[in-house]
Amino acid sequence: MNATHSLKRRLLWFVLVAILLAAVLQAVTAYRGALRQADALFDDHLQQMARSLRGGIPLGLPQAGAEEDSGYDLFVQIWGQDGTQIFRSTRSALPPRAVLGFSDVEAHGNRYRVYTLQTPLQTVQIAQDLSARTARARALALRAVLPLAWLTPLLMLAVWWIIKRSLAPIERTRLAVASRAADDFSPLEGAGLPDEVQPLVDELNLLFGRVRHAFEAQKNFVADAAHELRSPLTALKLQAQTLRRVDDDPAAREEGVARLNLGLDRAIRGVEQLLLLAREEAGPAPTGGTQQVDLHQVVQLAVADTLPQARRGQIDLGLVENPSGQAVPPVSGQMEALCILLRNLLENAVKYTPPGGQVDVSLALVDGSPVLSVEDSGPGIAPELRPRVFDRFFRASDTAQQSGSGLGLAIVKAIADRHGAVLTLGESPRLGGLKVEVRFAPATPCHADQL
């Protein structure tokens, strides 16, 4: 596993080290430059002193034999036109002759920087002790570096404060996530966050929304299960108790067993519907990882699954040919979910259609959108009740004396919403009963190419 690290510490470490290295490099460069400038300045000073001595000996220079000033590090020798030495500084250790211009001379264990100037009347030689000269040059160089030495810690402190202030919103967001309750899915505040972190917070808020949706679906499932299973389980218990009291009547026993089996089938069907509804409502919309679903195949599978129930109820269940003749392109979605959608519509139509009635399924392309329709010859649904039929446990009619869980159309609505389809309830002009249309999103050119 990769070791974790702190972005703040890493950023501070790299930036402060970079500042320190840059400061050291700048200090070394400034120090060496100051030394070169001081060396050139001292050479220029020697030249100026030599030129000033061409007209005579200044009164400020000590004569030979005079008491030496320990702080004076310039040594002067002057020769006349005939080579006679006419001036020499106190305790001068310079050789009697020197080359013209600048030169470095070593005498009595000391090194000197010497400048010699020759005029028609005299030769002037002026020298400076290199050790004292170097000491002064280093002092000047250190003075040039000293401001940088003071500014570097201040700059590092300023950078540390800026980085700390810049990362403070991220720390606040971390504390907000760490301190929130397990059932708190409210969006995180994005004010003041850097542009690099804002997309992460946006994705977290989207994730919180999906988790909240799944959490609410779970709570709804628990509430629905408690609501829906209470009555059938109570009825099963009463039927079992009744069955125990009819030991001497075989016909009554068989009737009780039949009612008990019917109650068990209803309870199983209700549990299956609850689980299916919970899965569809908690699942994400089918975007990535979906397939192109052929609606003709969906119709064939759903009709084949519902046909035994239709035969038992003497219902004519079939597929109506597409009157327009236009090919219906596949839709993007999940094959199993769309089969459940159509099967629930067909089962609902068969359940509420009286014996000898008719249920038709049609598939057409309307204004570029695939439309799946289910029509029946049943009693239909009153217009004022149609907005409520997609609610859980709502039963619009009991005319067929059929009991159900009231979850079939709720499941249909959940699957349609996940696939971006629109459900429409109306009256069938051909059969006189209910007509349900499922209109999918318009087919794209790439979908049509796959036909």
- For 204, half-sphere exposure in the C-beta direction (CA atoms, 13 angstrom radius) is 16
Phi then psi for residue 448, to 5 deg, are -65, -30
Q: Do 203 and 151 share a domain, yes or no?
A: no
- Are 373 and 257 contained in the same domain? no
The pLDDT value given to residue 92 = 64
319 and 266 co-located in one domain: no
Residue 5: phi and psi, rounded to 5, are -150, 160
Distance spanning both ends of the chain, measured CA to CA: 48
Domain hosting 334: range is 291-449
Same domain for 376 and 275? no
Q: What is the mean pLDDT of residues 72-87?
A: 76
Q: Are residues 304 and 270 in the same domain?
A: no
For residue 159 the two structure tokens come to 């950078």
102 with 163, same domain: the answer is yes
- Asked if residue 91 is part of any domain, the answer here is yes
Q: How many residues does the chain have?
A: 451
pLDDT band at residue 232 under the 50/70/90 scheme: low
Q: What is the pLDDT of residues 36-67, one digit of tens each?
A: 888 888 888 888 888 887 666 554 454 443 33
Interacting residues of 57 by C-beta distance below 8 A, sequence separation 6+: 78, 87
Does residue 299 form part of some domain? yes
Spatial CA neighbour of 34 closest among 137, 130, 150, 149: 137
CA 121 – CA 57 distance, rounded (Å)? 13
Site of tokens 């974790």: 4
Say if residue 18 is in the same domain as residue 155. yes
**Higher pLDDT, residue 412 or 239:** 412
187 located within any domain: no
Residues whose CB is less than 8 angstroms from the CB of residue 434 and which lie 6 or more positions away in sequence, other chains included: 349, 352, 375, 376, 378, 380, 381, 425, 426, 427, 428
Residue 336 sits at the vertex; the CA angle it makes with 330 and 340, to the nearest 5 degrees, is 105
Looking at the structure, do residues 319 and 233 belong to the same domain, yes or no? no
Query: pTM for this one?
Result: 0.48
Q: Provide the pLDDT confidence category of residue 165 given band limits of 50, 70 and 90.
A: confident
Its sign, for the CA torsion 133, 138, 143, 145, is: positive
**Residue at 362 is within a domain:** yes
Q: Which amino acid is at 84?
A: T
Q: Is 425:374 a contact under the CB 8 Å cutoff?
A: no
Does residue 367 or residue 98 have the better pLDDT?
367
What pLDDT score does 397 carry?
Answer: 56
Are 319 and 263 in the same domain?
A: no
| Amino acid at residue number 347 | E
The reported pLDDT for the residue numbered 328 is 83
pLDDT at 401: 43
182-208 pLDDT, tens digit per residue, is 777 788 887 777 777 788 888 888 888
- Say which residue, 271 or 340, is predicted with more confidence: 340
Please say whether the beta carbons of 437 and 371 come within 8 A: yes
List the structure tokens of 140.
């000047």
CATH number of the CATH domain containing 256: 1.10.287
Residue 307 maps to a domain: yes
At 7 the three-state DSSP class reads helix
Query: For residues 53 and 200, what is the distance between their CA atoms, to the nearest angstrom?
Result: 79
Which tops the pLDDT comparison, 7 or 113? 113
CB 378 within 8 Å of CB 353: yes
pLDDT for residue 444: 57
Helix (H, G, I), strand (E, B) or coil at 32: helix
Instruction: Give the pLDDT mean for 330-348.
Output: 86
| Cβ atoms of 416 and 423 closer than 8 Å | yes
pLDDT score recorded for residue 97? 65
Pick from 15-29, 207-221, 264-278, 412-426: least confident = 264-278
The candidate with the shortest Cα–Cα distance to 299, out of 329, 338, 273, 351, is 338
pLDDT band of 72, cuts 50, 70, 90: very low
pLDDT grade, residue 338 (50/70/90)?
Answer: confident
* Neighbour-count burial for 311-340, b at 16+ CB within 10 Å, e otherwise: eebebebeeeeeeeeeebbbbbbbeebbbb
434 occurs within a structural domain: yes
**Mean of pLDDT values over 16-28:** 87
Instruction: Tell me which of 259, 282, 305 is where a domain ends.
Output: 282
Higher pLDDT among residues 273 and 193, named by residue: 193
Residue 297 within a domain: yes
In the predicted structure, residue 155 carries a pLDDT above the cut 80:
yes
Q: Do residues 243 and 318 both lie within one domain?
A: no
Is residue 355 packed enough to be buried (19+ CB in 10 Å), middle (13-18) or exposed (0-12)?
exposed
The answer to whether residue 71 scores a pLDDT higher than 50 is no
* The pLDDT of residue 448: 37
Kindly tell me the sign of the dihedral angle through the C-alpha atoms of 343, 349, 354, 357.
Answer: negative
The CATH number of the domain holding residue 397 is: 3.30.565.10
Domain boundary among 282, 303, 336: 282
HSE of 362, CA atoms in CB hemisphere, 13 A: 20
* E-only strand ranges, 204-352: 291-293, 316-320, 331-333
332: in domain: yes
Range of weakest confidence among 75-84, 153-162, 261-270: 261-270
Q: Count up the domains in the chain and report the number.
A: 3
Please answer whether residues 163 and 114 qualify as being in contact, where contact means their C-beta atoms are separated by less than 8 angstroms: no
Domain identity same for 98 and 8: yes
- Report the half-sphere exposure of 258 (CA within 13 A, side-chain side): 6
Across the range 279-290, mean pLDDT stands at 55
The larger pLDDT score, comparing residue 246 to residue 334, is at 334
Does one domain contain both 174 and 208?
A: no
Domain termination residue (choose one: 250, 282, 314): 282
pLDDT of residue 65: 39
